[in-house]
Amino acid sequence: MEQAMRNFFLFLSKNKPMTKLAKKYGLRFGAGRFVAGSSIQQAVEVIRELNSQNLVVTIDYLGEFVDNEREANEMALECVEAIRAIGRENLKSQLSLKMTSMGLDISEEIVMKNMRLILDEATKQNVFVTIDMEDYSRCGKTIDIFMRLKSEYDNIGTVIQAYLYRTEKDIDDLNAYSPNLRLVKGAYKESPEVAFPDKKDVDDNFKKIIKTHLLNGNYTAIATHDDEIIEYTKRLVEEYKIPRDQFEFQMLFGIRVERQHELVKEGYKMRVYVPYGTDWYGYFMRRLAERPANVAFVLKGVMKK
Instruction: Give the Cα-Cα-Cα angle 135, 123, 140 (nearest 5 degrees).
Output: 20
Of the listed ranges 4-18, 138-152, 217-231, the one predicted with least confidence: 4-18
SS3 state at 172: helix
Catalytic residue among 132, 170, 203, 279: 132
pLDDT at residue number 28: 52
Is residue 292 a part of any domain in this protein?
A: no
**Cα–Cα dist 164/265, whole Å:** 33
Is residue 13 a part of any domain in this protein?
A: no
Is residue 296 a part of any domain in this protein?
A: no
% of the chain surpassing 70 pLDDT: 82
The better pLDDT of the pair 255, 195 is held by: 195
User: Tens digit of pLDDT for each residue in 97-146?
Assistant: 999 999 999 999 999 999 999 999 999 999 999 999 999 999 999 999 99
Intra-chain end-to-end CA distance of the chain, in Å? 27
CATH code of the domain in which 185 resides? 3.20.20.220
Is residue 241 a part of any domain in this protein?
A: yes
Catalytic residue among 182, 256, 286, 287: 182
Is residue 293 a part of any domain in this protein?
A: no
Active-site residue, 138 included:
no
Q: Which domain holds residue 50?
A: 36-279
Strand 56-61 to 93-98 pairing:
parallel
The better pLDDT of the pair 289, 185 is held by: 185
Is residue 59 a part of any domain in this protein?
A: yes
C-beta separation of 84 from 95 below 8 A:
no
Q: Mean pLDDT over all residues of the chain?
A: 88
Is residue 20 a part of any domain in this protein?
A: no
Active-site residue, 182 included:
yes
Helix 139-150 to helix 167-174 angle (10° resolution) is 10
Helix (H) / strand (E) containing 220: strand 220-223
Residue 280: pLDDT band with limits 50, 70, 90: confident
Domain count, the chain: 1
pLDDT at residue number 12: 44
Beta bridge partners of 184: 161
The better pLDDT of the pair 266, 5 is held by: 266
User: Tens digit of pLDDT for each residue in 35-63?
Assistant: 898 899 999 999 999 999 999 999 999 88
